[in-house]
Amino acid sequence: MEPRPAAPRPRLCDSLGADQTLSASTLNAARAEARPAGRRAPAVAAVLPAGGSGERMGVPTPKQFCPVLERPLISYTLQALERVCWIKDIVVAVTGENMEAMKGIIQKYQHQRISLVEAGVTRHRSIFNGLKALAEDQPDSKLSKPEVVIIHDAVRPFVEEDVLLKVVTAAKEYGAAGAIRPLVSTVISPSADGCLDHSLERARHRASEMPQAFLFDVIYEAYQQCSDYDLEFGTECLQLALKYGHIKAKLVEGSPDLWKVTYKRDLYAAESIIKERISQHICLIMDTKDENHVGHRLEEVLKDELNHVKVTSRLPCHTGRDLDQIVSEQCYSYVCVNVMTSDFEEIRKLVNMLEESNLSILYPVVVISVYFLDYKSVPFDQKMENLMQIREYAKEVKKRNILLCGLLIYYPQDEQKLQESLRQGATIIATLIKERNSGLVGQLLVA
């Protein structure tokens, strides 16, 4: 068993799609319903087999380590588990050759409550190693035996607290539980000569997905009893609980998001889903309170064009309270509307605050600095020269995963043309936020 990496510095939990306060109380409430009031919630740990080679992906890197928005896939899965506060320990089984890389990932992305064990040569052996680490009372181990253990895949990053709670609650009652999904394709059984023997009725079968949960003693005893053949060729933990523990697992309907990243196309899909999720909120920062200013009209156009996106606006960030708010809102897209100046002071303050917030450790944060070109205040040439400085500054902040671009919006007198400019500006903002591509940092775009 590997020692834990050094504890990362404190960080507020990520709250994308999960509210921990709610969750902990929901768990207690759910438990309270099924059992006499006053009983404590079960101690829960999770085991994550991550020793696979990813041969189906057609790439040399095992799929759990493939980058998605430049971060390894497994880090998203760890994030999904660790933001659920009632999961006390997360045991990850990785091969010896990936052990150092895994430690690096835990440190870089500040994952918490993770312990590493060495993977076995098959999935079942890896899970067994994870369970052993939880079961054994080693003197130097901080792990303790949980009442319920969740088994999940490293390559299912979109698991929600909701389904974790459901399988844990069902495992407590039934001894074992697992998420299922309807079949997408008909399943058939081939004969030895490669022809159709029979096809299975689709409505009577389900795909067994992850997460699954078990009373720890049930699954640990099953693994202790099971044969080498099971450990080598088996794939289904629910089947082991049935075969050796005589436990009929409760099946829980899961969401489509539980799907397993298996092929290259799944990596593409995962990246698109993550990009979409972190682009659902745009924070506009205005350096004026003047309600009639064109900056507020830009806000209206943005709300109009991006009607699935939450657009909020606020004054510039200067205080510690502003920082707290930025951290708690978990917004990854900022549009700084500079009405009063064409320098970078406000942008610098925002970027400093974003750095302090650690938001960009997990996801690239887009910052778009918007200027209006109204042909009167500052002369064009001087303004342009100021703005071209954005390139150097953008290069610098890109190192901290902050993607900075400039946007210059023409401000013609003609009302209709202005509306057109604003609409084009909104399209460019939407594109930069959606694509979140580091190749365009430092550019000054024109609407």
Measured distance CA(317)–CA(350) in Å, rounded: 6
Q: Considering only CA atoms, which of 152, 67, 111, 433 is closest in space to residue 277?
A: 433
Of residues 41 and 282, the one with the C-beta less far from its own copies: 282
Q: How far is the CB of 357 from its own copies (least distance, A)?
A: 27
Site for its own copies in 373-402 (CB under 8 A): 388, 391
Q: Does 53 bind its own copies (CB under 8 A)?
A: no
284 with 310: CB under 8 angstroms?
no
Q: Does 446 bind its own copies (CB under 8 A)?
A: yes
Choices 101-109, 202-210, 288-296, 314-322; region in contact with its own copies by CB under 8 A: 202-210
The residue count for the chain: 447
Taking residue 307's Cβ as centre, other Cβ atoms within 10 Å add up to 8
Q: Does 61 bind its own copies (CB under 8 A)?
A: no
Of residues 324 and 385, the one with the C-beta less far from its own copies: 385
Question: Which of 224, 328, 341, 431 contacts its own copies by CB under 8 A?
Answer: 431
Of residues 31 and 275, the one with the C-beta less far from its own copies: 275
Of residues 150 and 210, the one with the C-beta less far from its own copies: 210
Of residues 142 and 202, the one with the C-beta less far from its own copies: 202
Q: Considering only CA atoms, which of 163, 307, 180 is closest in space to residue 249?
A: 180
Token pair listed for 307 = 């009607």
Q: How far from 169 is each of 127, 165, 177, 416, CA to CA, in Å?
A: 21, 6, 9, 59
The dihedral sign for the CA sequence 284, 290, 295, 301 = positive
Choices 16-24, 136-144, 191-199, 332-340; region in contact with its own copies by CB under 8 A: 191-199
Q: How far is the CB of 31 from its own copies (least distance, A)?
A: 20
Of residues 337 and 407, the one with the C-beta less far from its own copies: 407
Token pair listed for 426 = 């909104």
Question: Which of 11, 260, 293, 398 contacts its own copies by CB under 8 A?
Answer: 260
Relative orientation angle of helices 20-34 and 161-174, to the nearest 10 degrees: 20
109 with 83: CB under 8 angstroms?
no
Of residues 66 and 350, the one with the C-beta less far from its own copies: 66
Q: Does 185 bind its own copies (CB under 8 A)?
A: yes
Q: How far is the CB of 433 from its own copies (least distance, A)?
A: 10
Question: Which of 13, 85, 226, 273 contacts its own copies by CB under 8 A?
Answer: 273
Choices 254-262, 282-290, 313-321, 368-376; region in contact with its own copies by CB under 8 A: 254-262
Measured distance CA(31)–CA(23) in Å, rounded: 12
Measured distance CA(127)–CA(239) in Å, rounded: 14
Q: Does 256 bind its own copies (CB under 8 A)?
A: yes
Of residues 113 and 125, the one with the C-beta less far from its own copies: 125
Residue 165 main-chain phi, psi, to 5 deg: -60, -40
Q: Considering only CA atoms, which of 401, 402, 410 is closest in space to residue 445?
A: 410
Measured distance CA(155)–CA(268) in Å, rounded: 13
Q: Does 207 bind its own copies (CB under 8 A)?
A: yes
Q: x/- string (CB under 8 A) for its own copies, residues 64-83?
A: --------------------
Give 431's contacts (C-beta < 8 A, 6+ positions apart).
none
Q: Does 305 bind its own copies (CB under 8 A)?
A: no
Choices 38-46, 75-83, 188-196, 294-302; region in contact with its own copies by CB under 8 A: 188-196
Omega before residue 62 within 30° of 0, cis: no
Of residues 236 and 329, the one with the C-beta less far from its own copies: 236
Site for its own copies in 208-247 (CB under 8 A): 208-209, 233, 235-236, 238-239, 242
Question: Which of 227, 272, 312, 382 contacts its own copies by CB under 8 A?
Answer: 272
Measured distance CA(150)–CA(84) in Å, rounded: 12
Q: What is the DSSP letter of 442?
A: T
349 with 357: CB under 8 angstroms?
no
Measured distance CA(441)–CA(333) in Å, rounded: 14
Q: How far from 390 is each of 87, 343, 369, 380, 434, CA to CA, in Å?
A: 44, 9, 9, 16, 21
Choices 45-53, 60-68, 78-86, 196-204; region in contact with its own copies by CB under 8 A: 196-204
Q: Does 180 bind its own copies (CB under 8 A)?
A: yes
Question: Which of 101, 141, 263, 323 contacts its own copies by CB under 8 A?
Answer: 263
Applying CB under 8 A, the residues found at the interface with its own copies are: 56, 174, 176, 178, 180-181, 183-191, 194-200, 202-209, 233, 235-236, 238-239, 242, 248-251, 256, 259-260, 262-263, 265-266, 268-273, 388, 391, 427-428, 430-431, 434-435, 437, 439-440, 443-446
